[in-house]
A and B are shown apart, each in its own frame.
Chain A
Amino acid sequence: MPYSDKVMDHFTNPRNVGSLDKNALDVGTGIVGAPECGDVMKLQIQVDSDGRIVDAKFKTFGCGSAIAASSLATEWLKGRTVQQATELRNSDIANELSLPPVKIHCSVLAEDAVKAAIEDWKRKNARSDASTGQMEETKRT
Chain B
Amino acid sequence: MALKLPIYLDHNATTPLDKRVLEAMMPYLTTDFGNAASRNHAFGWKAEAAVENAREQTAGLIGATAKDIVFTSGATESNNLAIKGAAEMYREKGNHIITDLIEHKAVIDPCKRLEQAGFQVTWLKPDRFGVVSAEQVAEAVTDKTILISIMAANNEIGTLNPVAAIGAVAKQRGVLFHCDATQAVGKIPMDVEAMGIDLMSLSAHKIYGPKGIGCLYVRRKGPRVRLTCQMDGGGHERGMRSGTLNVPGIVGLGAACVICRCEMADEAPRLTGLRDRLHQTIAAGLDYVFLNGHPTQRLPNTVNLSFAYVEGEALMMKMKDVAVSSGSACTSASLEPSYVLRAIGVSDELAHSSIRFGVGRFTTGEEVDYAAAAVVRGVNELRELSPLYEQARENRRSQAKA
Chain A positions within 8 Å of B, measured between CB atoms, are 1, 3, 8, 11, 14, 17, 19, 31, 35-42, 59-64, 66-67, 102, 105
A38 interface neighbour in B329, B384, B385, B390, Cβ under 8 Å:
B329
Given contact pairs A36-B347, A38-B337, A102-B333, A63 touches B311 in the complex (Cβ within 8 A) = yes
Residues on the B chain within 8 Å of A3, using CB = 317
- Additional pairs, 8, CB under 8 Å, beyond known A35-B352, A38-B337: A17-B384, A36-B347, A59-B386, A59-B390, A60-B387, A61-B311, A63-B313, A67-B385
Contacts of B384 in A (CB 8 A): 17
* B contact residues, range: 20 to 34
Chain B residues positioned under 8 Å from A1 (CB to CB)? 331
With A36-B349, A38-B352 already in contact, the answer to whether A62 and B311 are too (CB < 8 A) is yes
B75-101 contacts to A, CB under 8 A, are none
Min CB distance A107 to B, Å, is: 14
Known: A38-B330, A39-B311, A102-B333. A60 touches B385 (CB 8 A): yes
What is the CA–CA distance of A48 and B283 in the complex, to the nearest angstrom? 45
Q: Which residue of A lies closest to B310 (CB)?
A: A61
Contact A61 B388 (CB under 8 A): yes
Q: Which residues of B contact A (CB under 8 A)?
A: 309-311, 313-314, 317, 328-331, 333, 335, 337, 347-349, 352, 384-390
Give the shortest distance, in Å, between A19 (CB) and chain B (any CB): 7
Q: Which residues of B contact A62 (CB under 8 A)?
A: 311, 314, 330
Which residues does chain A contribute within 8 Å of B309, judged by CB atoms? 61
Tell me the complex Cα distance, A8–B310, Å. 17
- Closest chain A CB from B322 CB (angstroms): 15
Q: List 15 A-B contacts (CB under 8 A).
A: A35-B352, A38-B328, A40-B388, A59-B385, A60-B386, A60-B387, A61-B309, A61-B387, A61-B388, A61-B389, A62-B330, A64-B314, A64-B317, A67-B314, A102-B333
